[in-house]
Amino acid sequence: MSVSGLFKSTQCLKKTEFVTILSRLYVNILRMIPINEAKKIIDDNIVKTTLTEPVSLEDAFGRALAYDAKSDVDVPPFNRATMDGYAVVSSDGAGEYEVIEYVPAGVFPTKKLEKGYVTRIMTGAPVPEGADAVVQVEKTGGFVEVGEKAEIKASFKPGQNISPHGEDVKTGDTVLEAGSRITAPESATLATAGHDPVTVFKLPTVAILSTGDEVIEPSEKPVPGQIRNSNAYSLKSQAVDIGLNPDLIGVAHDTEEDLTAKIMEGAKRDFLLVSGGVSAGDRDMVPRILEKAGYKILLHKVAVKPGKPLVFGVAEGPRYVFGVPGNPVSGLVIFELFIKPAILKWMGFSNTKHFVVNAPLADGFKRKKADRVEYIPVQLEWTGEGFIAHRIKYHGSGHMHALTRANGLYKIPKGVTEVAPGHAGEVIVLKYGWR
Amino acid sequence: MSVSGLFKSTQCLKKTEFVTILSRLYVNILRMIPINEAKKIIDDNIVKTTLTEPVSLEDAFGRALAYDAKSDVDVPPFNRATMDGYAVVSSDGAGEYEVIEYVPAGVFPTKKLEKGYVTRIMTGAPVPEGADAVVQVEKTGGFVEVGEKAEIKASFKPGQNISPHGEDVKTGDTVLEAGSRITAPESATLATAGHDPVTVFKLPTVAILSTGDEVIEPSEKPVPGQIRNSNAYSLKSQAVDIGLNPDLIGVAHDTEEDLTAKIMEGAKRDFLLVSGGVSAGDRDMVPRILEKAGYKILLHKVAVKPGKPLVFGVAEGPRYVFGVPGNPVSGLVIFELFIKPAILKWMGFSNTKHFVVNAPLADGFKRKKADRVEYIPVQLEWTGEGFIAHRIKYHGSGHMHALTRANGLYKIPKGVTEVAPGHAGEVIVLKYGWR
């Protein structure tokens, strides 16, 4: 945007206009930051939380474990038979031996085994004290009843067909590391190792603020010039998906007073997400008011499409603000690329990565300007051997409707104006299967 | 299991023992049902819910939309400029024309355009009434101020560089179909189309019951012969992941009274998941008591490893019961393969599919018996070109700890005893990226 474009007053310049122009120029003279540099600036500033809380194991799904969880038991807790057969004293060797007990899985043996006897045993059951091997039934004369004589045909070694207690986990072993996301196998592992309640990292508080005089809520009917607030709902969904419960704190009008009041309210949270008011073309006071609210602005513009304007700031606490463009496709992409990994890091997760695959772009792609990395929405199809990415009919960054049919974002690198049909590129997976 | 194995009484047969033996035989004479046949039996019996409820759009994440959502507005709501430049009357042709207004994005034009004049306009802004084309700035003498004359160099056609109102969505168009899962793009789409609150399918009520005298809770310390209840926590995590909030209704002792009481309690729910007590080797009364509670048992054993025993039953309502083996790896696999798609269908989702990819098994695999499909836990690695599946060190179906390092289940087909290293097979993706 040119200075003449900003200087629309034909008479003279009021002080407030002068300030507005200066702040816009300040934003505009900053170069577009490459994606990886922007990610590094964010990552260098996000401090992982140290706050923890105990939660009941059954409510721990999706949380980040805050400590290395050790086991207070051996797993298996006993010497476990790995075959159906007879528990034996290995020095007895082949021969006929009286069966003193029958131990199915889930039952604990009550009789110590002595030389000259055997215990009939099933896979998974505890091997009785005194036994040091299990002979599988195929190498015997078959199953007989307690009190009868079993024929052991094979020779066998000590330890044969026994999974010794503690083979999987020994008491004191770390079974799950701090930073693990607790899903089904982690829940079962923590249960087995005796962890309930579990200590997890606290969740951040998050506020989502929309801005713009023209923005109305979805339940209202727009008149010409008005648009419905969709970005806040999209951002909230993305935040809920990673386990957060953000507050929508409304729509701020484009006035100093309203923006200041709502930004001050949002700035109490660990993360404030502001939608709109950050583009150079906007009548935006947002970055300036964010600075007034105590945020140091570290990013203004990132070389990515959709989504060039991206404000990132840090205040005491530290607390963080992200400003995203007001259109929902840009907001969605910016959240996916920059905000999600940042919040996941804050939350204490050791893995904050996207799921990225490689796929040929079936339809190819052309663009005129190649000064930014561009992400285009695609439908990833699994052919049985690999992925193919199909472009979605898509009319630009306001066209969210198209994105409901997309499950990936295909990356067009900087400097590339044309992707030939079938050319493979990186795709960030957004959804898969039933998700 | 042989009859002699069941007939342990050496004296005579009490009536209760006789009943137990008969019920076990009844279970055991049933053949193992192939996976696809079992899935069909379940699918044929699961009835999608018809119950709906309104929820606030901001709370709709993860829910199934219960109706075809139509738009009450055009998108875009106005003729939108797709280039920075000048809005013109196309019949004017090239020439010099006075600029009557400047319309940035987010601002609505106030002046109708007449022949002989132009309006300076930015990408995304509404084209003023009277204008029928936008000339991009590159084909003009550049931007000038309102009141000055702009030089239009090129000829242009009606409609050029205008996205007409309703191009993406017309009023009355269906923007989202019933059965869609509401995530970020769907939230934004519903917001734009004016849907708040949204009507979604109700969630099912779900109870999880563990069984077994030897089972204690994770907060308790096991004595020899006791094991901690891990399966219920694993199942609950899997259920929460698909949006449910199941109740853990405790551990039932292996008595007729306690099992009956707890099964009756759980049977009030739409879905009852019973862990343990369904294996042939168990001292199980579970299937019989489920029948007493009104469930018709349609499945007992499925040809899958881990997890052969799988009880599926239907009662009036319809209400459903799944009985899964007591060890957590089996329970996890059974939930993933059979229970998750069933509940997702009940919930009204049109997509209930797993995310399945193809990957070579780096380490190969051997087994002796090939009478069942087997799923082995693997770590899927994305090499940049494709997936490779690495086996996890894994000591059988009780070894849940290993599964925390797995993100996929590699399928060994029935009849296959050996998979050569590098041989590609189907893998169900359990986790990806930060998940």
- Asked whether the beta carbons of residue A222 and residue B73 sit closer than 8 angstroms, the reply is yes
Host H or E run for residue A82? none
Distance CA A2, CA A281 (A): 11
Answer for the pair B238, B196: CB distance below 8 angstroms, yes or no: no
Check whether A24 has a pLDDT greater than 70: no
Average of per-residue pLDDT across A121-150: 92
For chain A, the 3-state helix, strand and coil shares in percent, each to the nearest 5, are: 25, 30, 45
User: Which of B77, B122, B238 has its CB closest to that of A281?
Assistant: B122
Tell me if chain B has a CB within 8 Å of the CB of A415.
no
The predicted pLDDT at position A223 comes to: 87
Task: Supply A165's token pair.
Answer: 């207690």
ipTM of the shown complex = 0.88
Q: Which chain B residue's Cα is nearest to A228?
A: B192
Distance CA A131, CA B245 (A): 46
The predicted pLDDT at position B95 comes to: 95
Q: How many angstroms separate the CA of residue A434 from the nearest CA in chain B?
A: 5
What are A263-318's pLDDT values in tens digits?
999 999 999 999 988 765 445 689 999 999 999 999 989 999 988 889 999 999 99
B356-429 belongs to which homologous superfamily? MoeA, C-terminal, domain IV (2.40.340.10)
- Asked whether the beta carbons of residue A175 and residue B401 sit closer than 8 angstroms, the reply is yes
Q: How many angstroms separate the CA of residue B290 from the nearest CA in chain A?
A: 21
The predicted pLDDT at position B2 comes to: 39
Give one DSSP letter per residue of A319-375, joined into a string.
Answer: EEEEEE-SSHHHHHHHIIIIIHHHHHHHTT-S-----EEEEEETT-EE-S--SSEEE
The predicted pLDDT at position B124 comes to: 79
User: Which of A187, A222, A352 has its CB closest to that of B234?
Assistant: A187
Of 3.40.50.720, 1.50.10.10, 3.40.190.10, 3.40.980.10, the CATH number of B32-49+203-347 is 3.40.980.10
Distance CA A351, CA A364 (A): 32
Give the start-to-end residue ranges of the domains of chain A. Answer: 1-30, 31-49+203-346, 53-74+168-201, 80-163, 356-429
Instruction: Count CB atoms within 10 A of the CB of residue B12.
Output: 6
Answer for the pair B414, B373: CB distance below 8 angstroms, yes or no: yes
Does domain B52-73+169-201 fall into CATH 3.40.50.300? no
What are B226-275's pLDDT values in tens digits?
889 999 999 999 999 999 999 999 999 988 999 999 999 999 999 999 99
Q: How many angstroms separate the CA of residue A91 from the nearest CA in chain B?
A: 26
Check whether A48 has a pLDDT greater than 70: yes
Check whether A401 has a pLDDT greater than 90: no
Task: Supply A400's token pair.
Answer: 């969210």
Tell me if chain B has a CB within 8 Å of the CB of A388.
no
- Asked whether the beta carbons of residue B104 and residue A188 sit closer than 8 angstroms, the reply is no
Q: What CATH number labels A80-163? A: 2.170.190.11
Tell me if chain A has a CB within 8 Å of the CB of B44.
no
Bigger pLDDT: B295 or A382?
A: B295
User: Which of A75, A189, A399 has its CB closest to that of B404?
Assistant: A189
CA B204 to chain centre: 15
CA B277 to chain centre: 28
The predicted pLDDT at position A3 comes to: 43
Check whether A9 has a pLDDT greater than 60: no
Pairing verdict, β A85-88 and A133-136:
antiparallel
Beta bridge mates, B216: B228
The predicted pLDDT at position B10 comes to: 54
- Asked whether the beta carbons of residue B434 and residue A351 sit closer than 8 angstroms, the reply is yes
Class of domain A31-49+203-346: alpha beta
- B386 contact residues in A (CB cutoff 8 A): 358, 386
Tell me if chain A has a CB within 8 Å of the CB of B434.
yes
What's domain A53-74+168-201's architecture? Alpha-Beta Complex (3.90)
- B229 contact residues in A (CB cutoff 8 A): 191
Distance CA B112, CA B424 (A): 65
- Asked whether the beta carbons of residue B230 and residue A186 sit closer than 8 angstroms, the reply is no
Q: How far is residue A320 from each of residues A265, A284, B114, B225, measured CA to CA in Å?
A: 13, 19, 49, 52
Answer for the pair A302, A38: CB distance below 8 angstroms, yes or no: yes
- B190 contact residues in A (CB cutoff 8 A): 218, 233
- Asked whether the beta carbons of residue B353 and residue A279 sit closer than 8 angstroms, the reply is no
- Which segments in chain B show pLDDT lower than 50? 1-6, 9, 28-29, 281-282
Bigger pLDDT: A107 or A96?
A: A96
- Asked whether the beta carbons of residue A195 and residue B186 sit closer than 8 angstroms, the reply is no
Distance CA B128, CA B108 (A): 8
pLDDT, averaged across chain A: 90
Q: Which chain A residue's Cα is nearest to B61?
A: A237
Label residue B158 exposed, middle or buried (CB < 10 Å: 0-12, 13-18, 19+): exposed
Answer for the pair A166, A75: CB distance below 8 angstroms, yes or no: yes
SS3 A141: coil
Answer for the pair A330, A278: CB distance below 8 angstroms, yes or no: no
- Asked whether the beta carbons of residue A433 and residue B351 sit closer than 8 angstroms, the reply is yes
The predicted pLDDT at position A104 comes to: 82
Beta bridge mates, B86: B120, B135
- Asked whether the beta carbons of residue B191 and residue A229 sit closer than 8 angstroms, the reply is yes
Tell me if chain A has a CB within 8 Å of the CB of B333.
no
Q: How far is residue B204 from each of residues A352, B290, B335, B346, B361, measured CA to CA in Å?
A: 32, 20, 16, 8, 38
